Amino acid sequence: MKKMKAAMFYAPGDVRVEEVEVPRVDDKEILVRVKIALTCGTDVKSYRRGYSLFKPPCLFGHEWAGDVVEVGENVSGFKEGMRVVGHNTAPCGRCYYCKKGYHSMCEYLMDNLLLGAYAEYIKVPSAIVEQNLFEIPDGISYKAAALLEPLSCVVYGTDEIGIQLGDSVVINGAGPIGLMFVRLAKLKGARVISCDLSEQRLAVARKIGADETINVSHTKDQVASVQELTEDKRGVDVAIEATGFPKVWEMTILMARKAGKVLLFGGCKAGTTITVGTELLHYSQLTLKGVFHTTPRHVKTAYDLITRRMMPEDLLVTDEVPLSETVKALEMHLHQAGIKIAIVP
């Protein structure tokens, strides 16, 4: 039995890098040697609190890029030695929601969930091979390619909220997701305001496309600070939340102008709720939009943006550690030392 090194999740706060069996692929699957994996807020949350879909001890990590080392005999389009990047899910294409075109709501989305990027090898299930696996073109780094999954979620959110040319857009949170929103809003021709507590992150936000930044630790009224940056202080055309805190969801709603649009993106703790004034929602004719995950169409768009070098990976992936130091990488991400951390087997 072939062995590999992998980070195994045992319990919240208990992750061990150890020798495990290399996954075996069937006729429709692909085995990839991981060249780079990235930390993600979701992995950090799972590391601290566990995750309902984990069966410990288990592999984890879901953002990766690498080289194909084994191809099932019934796979077409991929061959050994190819540099590839994959998304971490694929919809079934057959359930009610898939048929209606809501692929992120697929009832079987999580059946194909790919975990195990923090390892020397990763097995790509057939549904992902068929729908969400791509060759990395020459000249595009593994690091840039590995942004595929988070970027595809941000592309989906951006698409769903519909930013128009010339819109004013606020993005609350300048973590990896918030920064990608800043970039995409800028690419859409918006005037972008980025809010965060960290001066360091706001500096990255300015580099990646923010026209204005607000350090919310220096302001008493975050909503007023945003409104003041808009014409006649009426608020922004589009307000985006990318922190996952109910309080920020509520504030984000207040930042939109009349008839404005609000994208509530960051997943909050289970069981939490928010309060929205009924008068505000009614008389201001607000559109509030929640989104979850992404769809193959948006994964493809994210791939296109990456391969056209529209996403400056060096601003988003700031540090690199070996696989043996996976815990350090997760801790760095947790304590905001850097933006995303690359884990290199």
Interface positions with Zn ion (CB under 5 A): 40, 91-92, 95, 98, 106, 149-150
Least distance (Å) between residue 303 CB and Zn ion: 15
Least distance (Å) between residue 329 CB and Zn ion: 14
Least distance (Å) between residue 126 CB and Zn ion: 15
Q: Pick the closer one to Zn ion by CB: 131 or 230.
A: 131
Q: Pick the closer one to Zn ion by CB: 63 or 237.
A: 63
Least distance (Å) between residue 95 CB and Zn ion: 3
Distance CA 4, CA 21 (A): 6
Please provide the DSSP assignment of 273-293 as one string. Answer: -----HHHHHHTT-EEEE--S
Q: Pick the closer one to Zn ion by CB: 38 or 193.
A: 38
Least distance (Å) between residue 206 CB and Zn ion: 24
Q: Which residues contact 265 (CB under 8 A, 6 or more apart)?
A: 157, 177, 181, 240, 241, 242, 291
Q: Pick the closer one to Zn ion by CB: 42 or 141.
A: 42
Distance CA 203, CA 208 (A): 9
Distance CA 297, CA 280 (A): 34
Q: Pick the closer one to Zn ion by CB: 9 or 257.
A: 9
Q: Pick the closer one to Zn ion by CB: 261 or 340.
A: 340
Least distance (Å) between residue 61 CB and Zn ion: 9
| CB contact at 8 A, 232 and 161 | no
86, 152, 121, 122: which is closest to 298 by C-alpha? 152
At residue 98, what are phi and psi to the nearest 5 degrees?
-60, -45
| CB contact at 8 A, 333 and 326 | no
